[in-house]
Amino acid sequence: MSQLEGYLFNQGHMWCRPGDDATYVIGVSDHAQGSLGEIAYIELPAAGATITQGEALGVIESVKVVNDLLAPISGTVVEVNDSLADSPTTVNESPYEDGWMLRIKPGRTEELDELMDHARYTAFIG
């Protein structure tokens, strides 16, 4: 698989990448969506909420399991992908593009140093 430029991953299988206006976009990895199976429901914080690296930012329910979504980076939510409320399987179909979850204004960009680039993440998931 080709490497994803600019995407950084945590061990909770979530990614973030730079977005417009010094924001970061957050989602779950292709490996995560594949393991979860058909996603049935995603609960995300509202715009204005703060999220903290390593802590649950929301919940994802697939037909198989319910899991917390662990924030890859701290910050303040500026935009939520509302389309996921009605079509959560977009995350299955396009985890790195249309299935993005949040756009945030980052708190501490040095937190990015703790994340893995795509090559390291690919090695991590084996």
Partner 1 sequence: MAKRLIVIGAGPAGYVAALQARAAGLDVCLVGTQDAGGTCLQRGCIPTKTLIASCDVLEKFRRAKQYGIELEGSVSAHWPSQQARIDSVVGTMVGGINGLLSQRGVEQLPGLARFVDARTVEVDGARRVDGDAILICTGSVPTAPALFPVDGQQVATSDDVLKWATLPKSLVIIGGGVIACEFAFIFNSLGVDVSVIEATDRPLPLEDTAISTIIGREMRKRRIQFIPSAMVGKMEVDDNAVRCYQDGQLLASAERALVAIGRRPNSAGLNAQAAGVEFGERGEIRVNGYMQTNIPTIYAAGDITAQLMLAHAASAQAHVAVAHMLGEQPEPLVIENIPRVTFTHPEVASAGLTEDAARQRGLNVSCGSFDFRALGKAHATGEIAGLVKVVADADNHVLLGVHMVGSHSAEMIHEAAIVLERGGTVDEICHTVHAHPTLSEAIHEAAESVFGFATHKPLVRKPAQDLLNESTRRLSV
Q: How many residues bind partner 1 (CB under 8 A)?
A: 24
- Least CB distance to partner 1 at residue 3 (A): 21
Q: Residue 3 contacts by C-beta under 8 Å, 6 or more apart in sequence?
A: 117, 118, 119
Residue 47 interacts with partner 1 (CB under 8 A)?
no
DSSP-derived secondary structure letter, 110? G
Nearest to 91 by CA among 37, 24, 20: 37
Nearest to 39 by CA among 103, 104, 83, 102: 83
Residue 38 interacts with partner 1 (CB under 8 A)?
no
Cβ neighbours of 73 (radius 10 Å): 25
Residue 64 interacts with partner 1 (CB under 8 A)?
yes
Residue 61 interacts with partner 1 (CB under 8 A)?
yes
Give 109 or 114: the residue with its C-beta nearer to partner 1.
114
Binding site for partner 1 (CB under 8 A): 12-14, 28, 31-32, 35-36, 40-41, 43, 56, 59-70
